[in-house]
Amino acid sequence: MEISLVSCSQVKIIKNDVEIRELGFCNLMNNHQIFNNRIDRICFDGLMMNGNKRWRRSCKVQLPALRAIKSETERTETVIRKRSDSKGKPKLYVGLPLDGISDCNSVNHARAIAAGLKALKLLGLEGVEFPIWWGIVEKETMGQYNWSGYVALAKMVQEAGLKLRVSLCFHGLKEPSIPLPEWVSCIGELQPDIYFTDRSGRRYTECLSLAVDDLPVLNGKTAMQVYQGFLESFKSSFSPFMGSTITDITIGLGPNGELRYPSSPSASTQESGVGEFQCFDKHMLDHLKLHAVVTGNPNWGLGGPHDAPTYYQSPNSNTFFKENGGSWQTPYGDFFLSWYSNQLIYHGDRLLSLASSIFRNTLVTVSGKVPLVHNWYKVQSHPSEMTAGFYNSDSRDGYNQVAELFAKNSCKIILPGMDLSDKHQPSELYSSPELLLSQIRTACDNHGVKCVGENLLASGMLPLNGFERIKHNLSKGTAVDSFTYQRMGAYFFSPKHFSSFTEFVRSLNQPELHHDDMPTYEKEETILVSKPVKDLRMQEV
């Protein structure tokens, strides 16, 4: 297979059987430069691998002669540095692999990540983001933390000269398998009501129900007390990096780290149906019952809506979300939806207020993620947003209160979905990520809240115009402070994708350069790219 990376109008690429280079994630730990005369390799699998497992051959990344690429990236770095120095221009980050740290607190793919960091530095990016998992750090016993792997990873970022955005994740994932702490799961086996529950009794075990925020159900402590201990331990363990390497801390607010209910079977994707309300665990029902009594409607507190659709049903499959005469338009509907959304707002306020207080004097910014639940947005009731906890409809702005929450705590909002456009959405879902994103950004502008953009789809799933859509969203308006591209892995460094990413980085908000700053070429440079050597194998590093 013959491939090229980083196209340049001044460079001519031809084939030759003599010269080959593989951009490597090996043999680079002690080098001052990425590009040298040896054959190096980049190895990534994207998911956690066993130590005895070789990398798939499909993960191999071959590049043209690296002398030209180094020259190209240096020119890009010059442009990006000028862009970064320009006032109001968004800063660029790349997310590190989700499984960067194993459950035994060792760094996975250490050489690969180290070389990747150097490559991103050459491209002129501001920094990287990586998730820190509650289930790994506080795995076995409440109050006993092991930060060693994450500290080592932070040092790697620091040595690469990059900034770091840390995401503190109080949720788990099924893929890759990252559960909640073992001691929490043991409690959950005896007290399953610590988890979100739907109408049929199905438990969502990837995060705690927000109803236990202030209940001492975790070995005598409330969830907020446990979160506080985690945040304070993090602050102490990472104090040498605060404000210098670590510039932003994202607080996990719910499923997939987002401020939302797990209204879809998979919190990281949006299904074709409207989803289900998640208020049927004992503690949520207790809150609902109390609220109904206080407001003078005790019969409304006996349970959630009985006439709402199930996960995969459309809005009109039942009476709650019907366009005309649906229960959501009745006094009961307003009572329930107001309570349901306010519970989510209160949860976000408690966590962000706690984090802002703990990190107040550390020179870091605190942020939280708000989901882009865009399916059924063009339906009057916005049912998918309502089941996720956002009381938003054609006649009611459900994001004004959310933006106000972030403004109150001086936090940034992370907005995924900057890569989505309406034309790529199935027409039968009445979806509009563009209109929803615009609505949330308007609410942020009105309250002076800065936004951090992200792509919703993984790098290997971006639509054809994904990068163009991102550029459009970052150049539109004034609220976007930075953008984090998700996420580094095998596909990220594949020839086709990395070339596109490089062009995206170079062109994003690229300022016009003075003619003295423009690169000059005495003659056209010829680069030789060989056919791959037989049996050249990609080894795990």
Examine residue 38 and say whether the peptide bond preceding it is cis (omega within 30 degrees of 0): no
In the annotation, is 503 catalytic? Answer: no
Cα(436)–Cα(427) distance, integer angstroms: 16
* Residue among 275, 445, 278, 394 at smallest CA distance from 347: 278
Instruction: Determine which one of 22, 126, 258, 434 is catalytic.
Output: 258
Cα(462)–Cα(136) distance, integer angstroms: 30
DSSP assignment of 249-294, as one string?
EEEP-SGGGBSS---SSSTTS--SS-------SHHHHHHHHHHHHH
424 Cβ contact list (under 8 Å, min separation 6): 463
Q: Quickly tell me which residue has 């970064």 as its tokens.
A: 84
Instruction: Determine which one of 138, 385, 434, 454 is catalytic.
Output: 454
Cα(145)–Cα(139) distance, integer angstroms: 8
371 Cβ contact list (under 8 Å, min separation 6): 256, 258, 259, 260, 388, 416
Strand, helix or coil at 218? strand
Residue 476: CB atoms within 10 Å: 12
* Angstrom distances, CA of residue 512 to CA of 74, 122, 374, 506, 519: 17, 20, 36, 12, 13
9 Cβ contact list (under 8 Å, min separation 6): none
Residue 367 C-beta-side C-alpha neighbours within 13 Å = 25
Largest CA distance in the chain: 83
* Residue among 70, 26, 18 at smallest CA distance from 532: 18
**Are residues 251 and 355 in contact, defined by beta-carbon separation less than 8 angstroms?**
yes
* Residue among 374, 389, 486, 367 at smallest CA distance from 429: 374
In the annotation, is 258 catalytic? Answer: yes
Cα(58)–Cα(44) distance, integer angstroms: 10
Query: 416: which 2 tokens?
Result: 């995924």
Catalytic residue numbers?
Answer: 258, 454
